Amino acid sequence: MTRGGRIKDRETPERRCIVTGEVQPKAGLIRFVAGPDGEVVPDLAEKLPGRGFWVVADRQALDKAAAKGLFSRGAKARVTAPPELLAIIESGLARRVTDTLSLARKAGLAVAGFEKVKDWLAAGKARVLLQASDGSERGKGKLWTPPGGRWFGCLTASELGLSFGRDHVIHSALAPGGLTDQLIRDASRLTGLRGHDGGAPAGKE
């Protein structure tokens, strides 16, 4: 049982956030290591060697870790955070989401466009609905989150378009599968940094 009285799920890997002190599933945290030059390096794929230290995927928590020297405490060594650290993490997570979505498309596990997405939702084929943060709210409101599935609005229309070889995409849906599980994790972490708010509405699909 955790400190908060929650029953621990032994099948779900957990880590302690160096900012909040809370132990939670590592899917919601970002791993860091100390680079050879003493700079903090985000390990988004969780494969880099060295002592790992973790921070919840939240902009305020990451800012606090850098401002208060908490990365050094986590690394148990003096390390520095580059001023562009949050931008590196955000762009890295966005790239991981778009790359995974592209692989899902090539595997026949993802579609784009209002009508195709609507058909997948109606047929119960979709597990995830992705909609551009800068898409028209009126258009996005005509689709729905898959029952028992997820919705994300953390990518722009141009970012979603990268995965489908288009200038922009507003609506996309993914079927269940390992690639979709990976996308859910990275999109959840990206949402922690970006939220769901976008800019001006993009054009129609």
Residues 131 and 194 in one domain: yes
Alpha carbon distance 92, 8 (integer Å)? 30
Question: Is the domain of 62 the same as that of 148?
Answer: no
**Angle of helix 178-194 versus helix 59-67 axis, rounded to 10:** 60
Cβ-based neighbours of 153, under 8 Å, separated by 6 or more? 130, 131, 132, 133, 140, 191, 196, 198
Residues 99 and 193 in one domain: yes
pLDDT confidence of residue 200? 36
Q: State how far the Cα of 156 lies from the Cα of 153, in Å rounded to an integer.
A: 8
**Rounded Cα gap, residues 9 and 181, in angstroms:** 19
Please give the chain's pLDDT, 205 residues, in tens. 444 444 455 578 999 999 999 999 999 999 999 999 999 999 999 999 999 999 999 999 999 999 999 999 999 999 999 999 999 999 999 999 999 999 999 999 999 999 999 999 999 999 999 999 999 999 999 999 999 999 999 999 999 999 999 999 999 999 999 999 999 999 999 999 997 643 333 444 5
Does one domain contain both 100 and 76?
no
Query: What is residue 201's predicted lDDT score, i.e. its pLDDT?
Result: 39
Helix crossing, 59-67 with 85-106: angle to 10°? 140
Q: Does residue 128 form part of some domain?
A: yes
42 and 100 fall within a common domain: no
Is 7 part of a structural domain of the chain?
A: no
Question: For residue 196, what pLDDT is reported?
Answer: 63
Count the alpha carbons within 13 Å of 3 in the hemisphere toward its beta carbon.
6
Last residue of a domain, one of 28, 61, 82: 82
**Full residue range of the structural domain in which residue 36 is found:** 14-82
Q: Which of 51, 82, 113 is the last residue of a domain?
A: 82
Q: Both 116 and 194 in a single domain?
A: yes
| Dihedral Cα 137, 138, 140, 141, nearest 10 deg | 110
Q: Looking at the DSSP assignment, which residues form a beta bridge with residue 41?
A: 33
Same-domain status, 129 and 75? no
110 with 158, same domain: the answer is yes
Q: Which of 90, 106, 107, 94 is nearest to 42 (CA)?
A: 90
* Shared-domain flag, residues 71 and 159: no
In a domain, 76, yes or no: yes
CATH of the domain at 188: 3.30.1330.30
| 113 and 179 belong to one structural domain | yes
Question: Does any domain span residue 158?
Answer: yes
Burial class (CB in 10 A: 0-12, 13-18, 19+), 151: middle
Q: Which of 61, 82, 103 is the last residue before a domain boundary?
A: 82
How many separate domains does the chain show?
A: 2
pLDDT (0 to 100) of residue 203: 42
CATH code, 60: 3.30.1230.10
Same domain, 122 and 162: yes
Same domain, 115 and 148: yes
Q: Please name which of 22, 164, 30, 146 lies closest in space to residue 104, comparing C-alpha atoms.
A: 164
